[in-house]
Amino acid sequence: MNIRILCAISVSTLAAFSLPTFGQSAFQDLNFEAANVTGNGGFVAPSSALPGWTVFYGNAQQTQMGYNLLSLGTVNATLLNAANGAISGNYSVLLQGGQGNGGPASASISQTGLIPSGTQTLFFKAAGEAGFEPFDVLIGNQNVTYNAVGDGANYILYAANVSAWAGQTELLTFLAPSSGELNNWNLDDISFSPIAVVPEPSPLILTGIGGLIFKLTRRFWKR
C-alpha cells in the first residue's frame, strides 16, 4: 500500500520540534553524526561511536562494537563512515543479525528518550537486501508497523505512526533479527515529526469505487 505525506516538508527538517518537559531527556544522535572515533576501522566503545545509544547482541549489552568492520556471518553492529557505505552524512549504523555464541542472535541499538509532544510520525532511512528478514522497530516492547514512503539512491525512507506515544518517555529500539543467516540493515536519519502520513486507497478499492461510479452513471443516463 502506498503512503502519501500530507505536507511537503523536507525530511531533513523533521528533527525534534518541541522542548523536552522538565526532567525528561530528548533523544540523542538520531543521525549518528556525533561519533567520536579515529582512524578508519577497528573496535570502539558504543559510547564513542553512538553517544546515547546502547548496543545489544541478542539480550547481551555490548561494551565494544565495530567501526567499519563487517561480519561474514556472526552477529555484529558497526559504525560506517562515508567511504564505507554510510547512507548520508559522515556516518550510519549497520546492524547485522547473525550467529551468536548460543545460536542465531539479533543485533540492535536502543535508547530511552522523550518522544516530543505532538509527534505523529517516526521517519528513518534504512537499506537492506531482497530476501533479508524484516527490520524491527520497537517502542517499549511493542513492535511498530512502518511503511515505505520514498527512496533515495542508497536507501528507502520509512514512516511509522507513533502518535500514541507522543509526549512520553519511551525505549526506542531498532533491531536486525536473525534465524541463522546474516541479516544486514543499514540505518540512518531517524526523526520525529508532527507531519502525519495516511494510506492512499489500494488499487482494488479504487477499482471498486470506479465500478460503482460507472454503474451509477449508467443508471442515471437510462432514466
Of the pLDDT bands very low, low, confident and very high (cuts 50, 70, 90), residue 12 is: very low
Q: What is the pTM of this model?
A: 0.82
Q: Collapse the DSSP code of 123 into the 3-class scheme (helix H, G, I; strand E, B; otherwise coil) and give the result.
A: strand
DSSP H or E run through 95: strand 91-100
Work out whether strand 76-81 and strand 65-67 pair parallel, antiparallel, or are unpaired: parallel
Q: Which three cell numbers mark 71?
A: 561480519
pLDDT at 17: 53
Query: Could you tell me which of 118, 133, 116 has the C-alpha nearest to residue 190?
Result: 116
pLDDT over 70 (residue 206): no
pLDDT at 132: 83
d(CA 121, CA 83): 31
Q: What is the pLDDT of residues 14-58, one digit of tens each?
A: 444 544 444 569 999 999 999 999 999 999 999 999 999 999 999
Domains and CATH numbers, the chain: 3-222 (2.60.120.260)
Of the pLDDT bands very low, low, confident and very high (cuts 50, 70, 90), residue 6 is: very low
Under 8 Å between Cβ of 3 and 149: yes
pLDDT over 50 (residue 203): no
Residue 134's contacts (CB-CB under 8 Å, 6 or more residues apart) are 177
Write down the H helix ranges in the chain. Answer: 46-49, 203-222
* Sheet strands (E) in 6-90: 42-44, 54-57, 60-61, 65-67, 76-81
Q: What is the pLDDT of residues 136-166, one digit of tens each?
A: 999 999 999 999 999 999 999 999 999 999 9
